[in-house]
C-alpha cells in the first residue's frame, strides 16, 4: 500500500522511467484531442493543456495493469465497489499559464462518468526546466497541494474537489485514470 493520508493515497514508482518514456513515445506524433468536457470547450479559462486519450488494448497491458493494481489496492481502503478502468487514460501536458484544469470533480452525468469511483493521477514528468505544478485537493476549507515526483501516483475518491495546477516554468505531464463501478447510491 502507498503512503496513506486520510482521504487520499500516494504510491511510489507506479511507472518507472522506461515505462514513462515508452508512454511519451506512444503519443509522439499523434494529434491531440480535446478534453471532451463541456465547460472547457465553452470556456478555455477553465482548462488549458494538450490532451491525448489512450484506450485499452492487449499491447498496452504494460500501462494499464500497474494502474489497475494500485487502484484496487487503494479501493480496499475505501470499499467503493470499484471494479476496473473502463475508459481511456487521459495524458495531459500543461504549460505555464493562469489555469491548468480549474476546480472540478470527476463524477459526471454521462453514463461512464457517473460510474467513476477513484481518480488516479500518475506524474509522468516535467521538462528539465519545469518548476511548480501539481494537484490541489479541496478536502476541507483550504486547498491542499500535492506535489508528486515522476512515476508517483495519487489516488483519491472521484467526488473530491480538485484542480490541476500548471507549472510556473517548463511543462508538466500527467496521466489520469478512473476506476469505475456501479454508481454511488
- What's the domain count of the chain? 1
Neighbours of 177 (CB within 10 A): 26
Domain range for 19:
3-180
Condensed to tens digits (0 to 9), the pLDDT of residues 19-53 reads: 999 999 999 888 777 655 444 455 667 777 888 99
Residue at 185 is within a domain: no
User: pTM to 2 decimals?
Assistant: 0.89
pLDDT of 38: 43
The CATH number linked to 130 is: 2.60.120.620
Q: Is the pLDDT of residue 126 over 80?
A: no
- Between 43 and 80, residue with greater pLDDT: 80
- Between 161 and 43, residue with greater pLDDT: 161
Q: Where are the alpha helices (DSSP H) in the chain?
A: 17-27, 38-42, 61-78
Contacts of 136 (CB under 8 A, 6+ apart): 143, 144, 145, 146, 162, 163, 165
Contact 152, 174 (CB under 8 A): no
Q: Which of 168, 164, 178 is nearest to 50 (CA)?
A: 164
pLDDT of 176: 95
Amino acid at each position: 500500500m502507498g503512503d496513506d493520508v486520510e482521504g487520499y493515497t500516494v504510491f511510489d514508482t507506479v511507472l518507472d522511467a522506461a515505462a514513462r518514456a515508452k508512454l511519451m513515445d506512444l503519443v509522439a506524433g499523434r494529434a491531440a484531442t480535446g478534453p471532451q468536457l463541456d465547460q472547457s470547450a465553452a470556456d478555455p479559462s477553465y482548462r488549458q493543456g494538450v490532451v491525448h486519450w489512450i484506450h485499452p488494448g492487449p499491447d498496452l497491458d504494460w500501462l494499464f495493469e500497474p494502474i489497475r493494481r494500485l487502484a484496487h489496492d487503494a479501493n480496499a481502503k475505501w470499499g467503493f465497489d470499484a471494479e476496473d478502468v473502463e475508459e481511456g487514460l487521459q495524458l495531459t501536458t500543461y504549460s505555464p499559464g493562469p489555469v491548468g484544469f480549474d476546480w472540478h470533480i470527476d463524477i459526471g452525468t454521462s453514463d461512464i462518468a457517473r460510474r467513476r469511483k477513484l481518480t488516479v493521477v500518475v506524474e509522468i514528468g516535467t521538462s528539465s526546466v519545469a518548476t511548480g505544478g501539481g494537484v490541489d485537493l479541496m478536502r476541507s476549507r483550504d486547498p491542499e497541494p500535492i506535489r508528486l515526483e515522476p512515476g508517483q501516483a495519487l489516488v483519491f475518491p472521484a467526488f473530491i474537489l480538485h484542480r490541476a495546477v500548471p507549472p510556473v516554468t517548463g511543462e508538466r505531464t500527467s496521466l489520469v485514470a478512473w476506476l469505475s463501478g456501479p454508481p454511488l447510491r
